[in-house]
Amino acid sequence: SGHTAVAVSAGFAHTCAILNDATVRCWGDNSAGQLGLGNMTQLNAPSTTEVNLGTGRTAIGISSSANHTCVVLDDGKAKCWGQNNVGQLGIGDINNRGDDSSEMGDSLPAIFLGSGRTARAIVTSPRSDLGYTCALLDDASVKCWGENGMAQLGQGDQNNRGVTSVDMTNLNAVDVGTNQTVASISIGAAHSCVVLTSTNIKCWGLGNSGRLGYGDTATRGDNIIQMGDYLPQVDLDGVVATATPTPSETLTPSETLTPSKTYTPSKTYTPSKTYTTSRTFTTSRTFTITQTATPTKTITLTKTATPTKTITPSLTPSRSRTPTKSRTRTVTPIGGVKEVVSLTTGQAHTCVILANDTVKCWGWNNFGQLGIDTQIGIDTPINVGSNYGDMMNLAIVNLAKRTAKSISAGAYHTCVILDDNTVKCWGLNNVGQLGYGDITTRGNTTGDIAALAAIELGSGHIALAISAGSYHTCAILDNHKVKCWGSNDVGQLGLGDLNNRGDIADEMGDDLPYVDLGTGHTAKSIHTGKTSSCALLNDDTVKCWGNNTYGQLGLSDNMNRGENRDEMGDNLPNIDFGTRRVKTLAVNGLNSCALFDSGAVTCWGWNRQGQLGQGDTNNPWDNSDAMGAALLTIDLGSGHTAKAIYVSTHICAILDDDSLKCWGNNDHGQLGYSDTNNRGDTKIHEINVEMGDYLPTVDLGTDFTAKSVALGGGFTCVILNNNKLKCWGQNDYGQLGYDDTYPRGARNNTMGIYLPPIAFDGVLTSTPTSTTTKTATSTKSNTPTKTATRTKTFTMTATNTKTATSTKTPTHTKTFTSTTTSTGTATSTP
């Protein structure tokens, strides 16, 4: 009796309070053990039993989310309990805590925040399906863990953290900029914001509705070049913010504020009595780190459909890692060696094999992934294809007198199979993804590419197919078995452990085990995504392994596979497609698609922007009834089937008439429908009004159809029926190949006849009239042109990924008007 409260935190349907004796009491919904009482019994009034925090431990800070609760203890450690489906408890697994009596007290582990690190404050997300947690540490840094599908953890990717012990051990502090530290933090459903000790604000994560405050709706934080000094400060005077990663832009506060006390509650809810949770700095400025919870506020990531919504065609390119076993292609010569016969895209770079079997790459070159023997591109900094003359002078990748048969790009590395069936890779090598037995990046020093050795695949073995995932690589060898190397943090190598391969000596060649696909099984094709891998087997069944957070492995659960020995081989189930037979696969790492021999297409996994094409954003993967005969196919339009399927965070299909349709994420115009509206996520009166006959084909230009597609991080490229190449979507680093950084596909007059093919010896001119005219004259005085000397209104900024539109000002001062002409000579293009 006589208890009073000093802090209270309200979750979605439960509430917890710190009492005046520093104990914790909770009440309300307890379906996931979020009350911390060792059961799942709902309480309609505060518990008479305090939460057992461990021997002698009390609470100094508390935060309640939708279904989990976290506290900062009196010794500075942090503990969380409740729902843990995406690692939001930070314990290194996905098991709930607090719903069994044996899980609390000393049995509940403290979160590993880093060697010697303690927590000042802790905050939790208000949504159960997007559960994540952030802590402000004693060194004024921030770490976040849990769900990361919207880049809300600020790690430069979209991988969840906290689901394995390795995740927490290797968890990096959020990079908020050079010499910057954090005074306070607040998080929403899928975005995070901090007040820096310089009194500035920075935000990252989901950007729709303008929640980040940068004057646009771009998502930020899903790429390493979107954080740190690249992440702008929110301009509180209403000026659109940009960030330029140059020393002159380094954030240097004019005064250094040092906290005079280290305790700050994570989420402070001021009760009726005054309880100040302010942090006082020695400058005599007081910063109140109070976050007011509004549990009644509904935050939704889905798009509200209204009958007035304009349905326009959407093209969603996807990063499909579907390699070819051999070079089976028909090339009709139409003017020389510059026709494109093979295409691949990385996070922000593009590579092609030309008709003479040489390789050219352009876009971002931060890790030497373009293979031009220098990290600094033709223009500075590290972009190729963003300035006039880049494509005209584009160098051939020096393969030491060899030619290329197939090519595959990961996020920041590129691999080729050469004419002698050996494999070479270049670019980022931080986890051994190049396969050279070290972690030395290649391609950023003069002479690197010419000196590349062939990767050791085993005695006498050569490669039939290659597929580069974000940070790992897989190959099918001449015995039709599979070997994988690089990152293995979630079992994506399929070797029954979590050890990387290829990053130290004696791990490649005969020392690298084969992936166990099961008794009598070999691979027909191999497909890699961000952190998962799939194989189409010799009996046309499919097996997938690695990350399964969103059910992308197709096994009706969210359990990873490939991390333990007993999860591969005959113990790894085939994906259940019912009686349907798979012709080919496409894998992104968040979602996957299959093309059946009937021409029907089905997709599963991540569905936040309608990637599954069913007119909603539901993820049915955790339902055992979602696969098999119940797995829905995608409506491609009356009488239409698909010839090929490609997957990224947007999805594209080449139809039976060689036209192209795309759906899913469209934040950069990557669907090619002259807007930024997602497709496939909306129903009106139970009618899927964005798919089927409602979904238009992508306008590729008069008489142009699609032969092959590659999907990068927010952009799409297509090989046309004349073997030329067109690209659209995000273009921050010149990855579209038009000698500028203007995006295409997000506004009117940027597709169809307005979008020229890419030229390697001068930029082709596109004249927007009733017919497409390509002229050899360098200027047209009567039409607006993009001239050889461009004043780029945006410098290199924080984004180049599939979810962020750009950190450049959203209202571009360079727009595409009714006519657009690029000057240069008209020559054949890849």
Alpha-carbon span 630 to 769, nearest angstrom:
48
- Shortest CA distance to 104 belongs to which of 83, 81, 74? 81
Q: What separation in angstroms does the CA of 810 have from each of 53, 237, 240, 550? A: 48, 17, 8, 31
Residues 8, 17: contact at Cβ < 8 Å?
yes
- Neighbouring residues of 685: CB distance < 8 A, sequence distance ≥ 6: none
What is the structure's pLDDT at 622? 53
For residue 280, count other CB atoms closer than 10 A to its CB: 15
Alpha-carbon span 822 to 830, nearest angstrom:
17
DSSP symbols for 175-238: ---TT--EEEEEE-SSEEEEEETTS-EEEEE--GGGTTSSSS---BSSSGGGSGGGSPPP-TTS
Amino acid at 31: S
What is the structure's pLDDT at 576? 94
Within this chain, domains 5-174 and 340-578 share the same CATH topology: yes
What is the structure's pLDDT at 481? 98
What is the structure's pLDDT at 150? 87
For domain 340-578, give its CATH number from 2.40.50.140, 1.10.40.30, 3.40.50.970, 2.130.10.30: 2.130.10.30
Identify the bridge partners of residue 427 per DSSP, sorted by sequence position.
Answer: 413, 442
Identify the bridge partners of residue 286 per DSSP, sorted by sequence position.
Answer: 280
Q: What are the domain boundaries of the chain?
A: 5-174, 340-578, 579-762
What is the structure's pLDDT at 262? 32
Q: Provide block-wise average pLDDT over 10 residues at a time, the chain (830 residues).
A: 89 94 95 94 92 96 95 96 93 93 95 95 83 95 93 91 90 95 94 94 92 91 88 78 35 30 33 31 30 31 32 33 34 50 96 94 94 58 82 91 96 97 97 97 90 95 97 97 97 97 97 97 97 97 96 92 96 95 93 96 94 89 70 95 97 98 96 96 91 97 96 97 96 94 93 90 35 30 31 30 32 30 28
CATH of domain 5-174: 2.130.10.30
Torsion angle of the four alpha carbons 276, 280, 284, 287, in this order, in degrees rounded to the nearest 10: -70
pLDDT per residue as tens digits for the range 240-262: 444 433 332 222 333 322 333 33
Residues 125, 66: contact at Cβ < 8 Å?
yes
Identify the bridge partners of residue 679 per DSSP, sorted by sequence position.
Answer: 664
What is the structure's pLDDT at 764? 36
- Shortest CA distance to 732 belongs to which of 799, 810, 813? 799
Residues 67, 143: contact at Cβ < 8 Å?
no
CATH of domain 579-762: 2.130.10.30
What is the structure's pLDDT at 129? 61
What is the structure's pLDDT at 238? 61
What is the rounded end-to-end Cα distance, in angstroms, of the chain?
A: 79
- Shortest CA distance to 449 belongs to which of 375, 341, 346? 375
What is the structure's pLDDT at 371? 94
